[in-house]
Structure 1
Amino acid sequence: MKTTDDAEHFGYRVLMKALFGGEPPTWRNRAACADADPDMFHTAGRTAAAKAMCASCPVLAECRDNQLSWEANGPARFRDNAFGVVGGLSGAERRRIHYPAKNVKDVA
């Protein structure tokens, strides 16, 4: 009989296969958030705590690069609807990277 943890682990593995095409990246096991509550990264009132955890992460660069690449190379809805804190950046911060504001002088 599967326990809740088994079911959640199975769901996580299915998600990783869908997102990464296989196993999660090896750096993920070294991430500061590896054992953290995932809700911290998707709850508006916990953004500061999530960013603080990311700031101390030994694989911050890999995480950020992976997420930005995944959003940039996937369907536009990945970029348009970016949410939560990933790689130390909020969804709004990541959207600004994908869609930088144009300088009025550059338009002319």
Structure 2
Amino acid sequence: MAEISRLPGPVADRWDWQLDGACRTVSPESFFHPEGERGPARRNRAAAAKALCLSCPVLQQCREHALRVREPYGVWGAMTEEEREAQYRASIAQAS
């Protein structure tokens, strides 16, 4: 679950970047795996989502948001859940 305490408040300027997201042109299912999706189907879906992210004008804001609030699901800022978790672990290891 996302860490609610880390979510920015309801100030529109903090969320306006989402209006420019390339993801707004496709179904959310492209970014969030259905229950039980595994193997090539999951990798292919994630790769297609990440490809769209890489052309997105707000890629950096999206990635920073996902890492800051620890988004638990989906592809955000061209990073899968597993990639974000690996980055969290690497950050903790560097801090130690």
TM-score range, shorter chain: 0.5 to 0.7
What residue in structure 1 maps to residue 26 of structure 2? 36
Q: Secondary structure at the match of 1:25?
A: helix
Structure 1 stretches of at least 4 aligned residues deviating more than 6 Å after TM superposition: none
| Greater mean alpha carbon deviation, residues 82-91 or residues 56-65 | 82-91
Identity within the alignment, %:
36
CA shift, 1:36, in A, is 1.4
Normalising by structure 1, report the TM-score: 0.61
Superposed CA deviations along residues 38-85 of structure 1, whole A, max 9, x for unmatched, are: 0000122411110000010000000000111111xxxxxx6xxx3321
Normalising by structure 2, report the TM-score: 0.68
The alignment of Structure 1 onto Structure 2 pairs a total of residues equal to 77
Question: 5+ residue gaps in structure 1?
Answer: 1-18, 72-77
Larger radius of gyration: 1
Q: Distance in 1 between matches of 2:8 and 2:24?
A: 17
- Which structure has more relative contact order (CA 8 Å, sep 6+)? It is 2
Aligned-residue CA RMSD in angstroms?
2.5
